[in-house]
Structure 1
């Protein structure tokens, strides 16, 4: 890792020069159209994106911690949360909080689950949750912070959740189980209905991570798609995490944690009085936050309405069908069945990492799945020219792979270092720390 430290400039620069450099840096990054398939950017449609940006900027400087002081800010929050509760069928009893993203939403869920267990199951001193192997990394991350052990269960051969194995993994220290709607690696919705039954039977907290699907699957269902039930229609579901900055198209960062009722939400709040300024309480773990994302979400919900979200969902389904249809025509390239807006591309006759590198050379930013190996697509509305270019690039690059013209492997991992010269310093330091820890262990 380099020892060079960038220092604060001694003198001033002009507004024009600084903004020129900002725009140059932005121009060197992957374009929104070519990055959205890797969730780099959820842009949606151009007119909608402009609206959310303008609304965001109107409230950029406002601190969302103090919405209790401003009735207009409170109205936006209240409207958004009521809409979100309705989309997951929370009814009059449902409750919700805004958060900074899926990580915080999951943290809040497992914090509430742990405190609920402390109150209801005080004999459990080393709490565990049981989850499919496909559960998102943030579940593991937040549970480590909260000192909860995650017991993972391998997927079935078709990559679906092995519900019988999950039930068998429930033990005397289990306080909850986790389902996904859909899971990030494979794009399928877990059997939340069956999970709800076992949660009630064993008196466990069932949390559903719907950060991807929470605000798109309800519209898929309205369009006639088969969507397994995952929300509060399922008895036993106590909490749901759902990101507004994914398919709700709010500016980042903006997510929600939803509760079946106030009974669950009561274990979420952390009121602080042991300091000099009286009661301190925030929506979630984060304190100060920009009100901009809230304004962007509120504006879009009223600009689009249900009709707009349905049109958007319909377009995504059409794009998904177009990609699947083209992959069926490409030798050795297959797609995995999925329940929502995620789609995996896998290779039967070549190394899928070659396709990643080939697409990167043409400007596409793609993520992957490591076990088993596949390209991971987060589908979004695309301009037709870009969609056709993506499909044509897939066809041409696979042909080049079969012809032996591509031998460089791309990265499927989230945390790989492709180029140490340009990588973030925090990542280089993290890799160095892990390598040192690994060498010490061995």
Structure 2
């Protein structure tokens, strides 16, 4: 009787090891001389062990059958098997025909089953007829990756606050590493949830998205709720409020005059606490403290006014309010002749003498002006019955003179005017006695 068995033990320590291979054996061979008889059996090789995969260990082979696959691992291949036979001359062939190959192991990493073929051929031990074991299954590399925790510390937005606006997400380089993200956000008005936008972070810590559908006027809150990059997802909570101001309305506009060289404009439809932004001839910003509010100190020219409120402003073309401030009336000058017609809206300057020669009068008329100046070296005389009527102040240079003949008058319309220099008033009175007096008044 001939029989045999052997088993692969595999690793017996540690985790993530392959399963043990199955035993190999020669089963039930008996030869009896008297009376002659032969009992035949089977020559079997053991199956391959299964690979460990993501389990602690692979499964062992069970005899000819390879070890079964575990999660993430491959099954072992089955062992080879060969039936024994006897030749016509009663010579025992343990293996007839070589290369009974074991089955290959399964992916990933399952062991190949053992082969059979080495044995007695025609009574002789032969190695030429050995069979190959099965190929082991292809292995794999397991990489464990831990997702980072994304974060957002604050949000900012561009000042234009158009209906599609750029929102910047601020974080740390660790909280917002370089990469491509899907950003999920909610919008309060018009109400919408689970909106998404793509964000490409090129500088760690900062990224931008475009948010769409903001209202043209009024409040809307954008809340970032989730950041996702590939398979890594973090829940976040960061908000920004868009409060879009409306176009300011122009009220009374006062243009410069000779009395007031600066213009003013009254703006309404304002939000107290916001800011008025002025551009044009000059630029300035004014906190909104009342509604309506007057903007003063404007030179002649064109201006644009917009309103900001929170992160938004009305600094888009449709929200600009344009205002034009007219030039003040021109100054009219006497240089031996007038270069225009003096009116109550004009500043009048006497650059040369006027009616100084009583024999050759330049004019004998009344003159009206917004304000009047007499320059150095100019001597100005208003003849009897004529007047100089001005809205505001009168300035006479110390080296010039202004004379009003008998019954000529100076009429000033503003009680608050501050004059500078001296004037000469000539008046005739009837003879008076002691303690008599004459009272002059101006009917103008």
Higher-helix-fraction structure: 1
Quickly name the TM-score band, shorter chain normalised: under 0.3
Higher-strand-fraction structure: 2
TM-score for both structures, normalised by structure 1: 0.17
TM-score for both structures, normalised by structure 2: 0.17
Which has the higher Rg, Structure 1 or Structure 2? 2
Higher relative contact order (CA 8 A, sep 6+): 1
